[in-house]
Each structure stands twice: as C-alpha cells, then as structure tokens.
Amino acid sequence: MIRAGVVGATGYAGAELVRILTGHPGVKLAIVTSRQYAGDAFDKVFPSMAGVVNLKCREFTIDGVCDIADVVFLALPHKLPMAYVPELLERGKRVIDLSADFRFKDGSTYEAYYQPHTAKDFLDEAVYGLCEIYPDQIKNSRLIGNPGCYPTSVLLPLIPLLRSGILDLHSIIADSKSAVSGAGRSLSLKTHFCEGNESFKAYNVAQHRHNPEMEEILSSEAGKQVRITFVPHIVPMTRGMETTIYTNLHKDASHEDVKECLSSFYAGSPFVRIRPDHRPPDTLHVRGTNFCDIGFHIDERHHRLILMSAIDNLIKGAAGQAVQNMNIMLGLDETTGLSHIPFPL
C-alpha cells in the first residue's frame, strides 16, 4: 500500500488532503505535519475527524517524512516547498506541491510575482498538474506543481477551444468569484467575519499572481504569447468558485462547434461535466467534489463566447486535483478515492 505524508496538514487544503487520503483505498496516511499544532491530535484541531483520523500532528523534518512516506504532499505557503523539494526527490520520493513554487517553467516570471527562487534547476522537470490536459506527462513525473484554483477554473474551459483554433486569442477576459477559504486559514482583516460577510468585492484587479500562471500555460498551448485580463473577486461563502470567461469567436464558429469541441475533448474525463445549455454551472452542484462543471453561451449579437465553470476551490482547485495527480503518477485509476457523490443541496 502507498504511504502518504501531508506536510502542512492543518491549513484548509492540507485538511482536505487528510480527509481524502483517509478514505483512499490504495493509500495509508502515514504522517501529518503542522508547525502550529505539532504534538496535538489532528482531531483536536478538526473535531469532525474524531474517530476517523487517529494521527498526531508532527513537526516537519525531512528525515521524519522520508522514513515513512512514499508520496509527499506539500500544502505549504509559497517559498517553503522549494527548500524541501530537492532533498525529497534525492531521497526517492514523489512530490506534489500545492504552492506556486513549481508551476512555472520561467523562473523569472515566478520571481516577478512571488520571491527569489532557490531551486530553479527543478523547474524544467516539474510537470504542471492539470490532470485532464497533461495526463501523459504526469504519468512519468516525480514532481508535480499542482495548479492554482483560479487557473484550474479558467484553463479547463479554454484549452480545448484554444487547441481547436476557434478563439480570438486577443480578446480573453476572465472574471472569477472565490469563496473566502481560498484566502487560507491564517488570520487577516479581509477574511474577518465583519469585513467579509455581506460583502462582494474585486481585488488585485488585473494584477493577481495567478494571471502569469494562466498566461504561461495558454502561451505554451498556442505557440505564441497570449495575454488575458483577469479579475478575481471574493464572495461571502465558505467554499466554491465560479468563473465567467468572455472571448470573441472566429466568424465561422457556431454553437454546435463549441459544444462538439468541449464534449469530445472531455468525453473520457470523469471529473469534467459539460452542462446543458439551459443550466449554467453552479458552485452548489460541485460542493465537496472533484468535478469541474463547464457551460457556455454565445452572444449572437456580438459573436462573443461566454464560458462558465464551477469548482470546489478546495477540492478540484487544490486537494482533490493533488490526489488525482497522485493517482495518475502511480498508475491508479484517476478517480480512486475521489468519487464523492455531490450533495443534492
């Protein structure tokens, strides 16, 4: 049985990893680490896990993780994973990093939006873990840069259409709405109840650090530079993300062309659902699951395509996709441990 370790297990994404891996039939969750809660039982930090997770949080050390884990999930803030990944790989571990440290091929782009990168030699090797798009590369990898939540919700609708050549690549605007959990578990004024409740606001307009992540992937897919306008928002709910994308179509592209492109591309993808024309994606319908629901509408007056997607930001946007990456890396069915039935309400 595969032994897994979660480093940073008491953040929101880390806790979701613990929940999913605990129910994974091919995995033994061997170690969970937490700087803040080292020595405490995991179910003391998250009482919902009483009787389910019987592990104590440990202080992270390379030796402590490597001695008992085959696969290591790094659910840590940006900058920390780059310090640990080289030695984890040297010691034969498979690594799935949920930070941005290994999502970029161009280290200078990372450094422009984050901080100096101390493990650039591993950027070429790292695979961008967008599971439905790069499964063959993921299969042969030992280091995954797990995509961000916003990029997952933007790239999955766009890439099939970009590959088909029916999009005007100079006109893409993406507007995303994220639940408050996307900001993480650390205390901050913007996520304080009195500041976030009954509040709906944009932030980091056209300068969010997920913007270059999306542009690097889209440019690689297109074989030329692609720039998009991206505006994120925070909405007062616990989990979920809805993205609406606006882009012009080439004149001869029809509704049926778009529908056929998306439907055929994702025909073998168990976690992508193309919604009926009359029912746009809804965060309620993907809550707690690894699904990405995609819908679209064509504004005939302007021949403009409106794409919509909905994901659970903590699952498909983080922990669920990380486990899906692990499944593909290790030759398991990609749905193993992830077949959560959606809540009806």
**Residues with catalytic function:** 149
Give the tokens for residue 293: 């629901």
How many Cβ atoms are within 10 Å of 240's Cβ, its own excluded?
A: 25
Q: Which residue matches tokens 């493990």?
A: 119
CA 137 to chain centre: 17
151 vs 321: CA distance, rounded Å:
12
Looking at the DSSP bridge assignments, the partners of residue 175 are 231, 244
Q: CB–CB of 192/234 below 8 Å?
A: no
3-state secondary structure of 282: coil
CA angle 50, 343, 266 (to 5 degrees): 115
Ramachandran area for residue 67 (φ above 0: left; ψ -120 to 50: alpha; else beta): alpha
Strands (E), the chain: 2-7, 27-33, 57-58, 71-74, 94-97, 127-128, 143-145, 173-178, 201-202, 229-234, 241-248, 272-274, 292-299, 304-311
Give the tokens for residue 114: 């984050």
Q: CB–CB of 213/184 below 8 Å?
A: no
Count how many residues are written for the chain: 345
3-state secondary structure of 139: helix
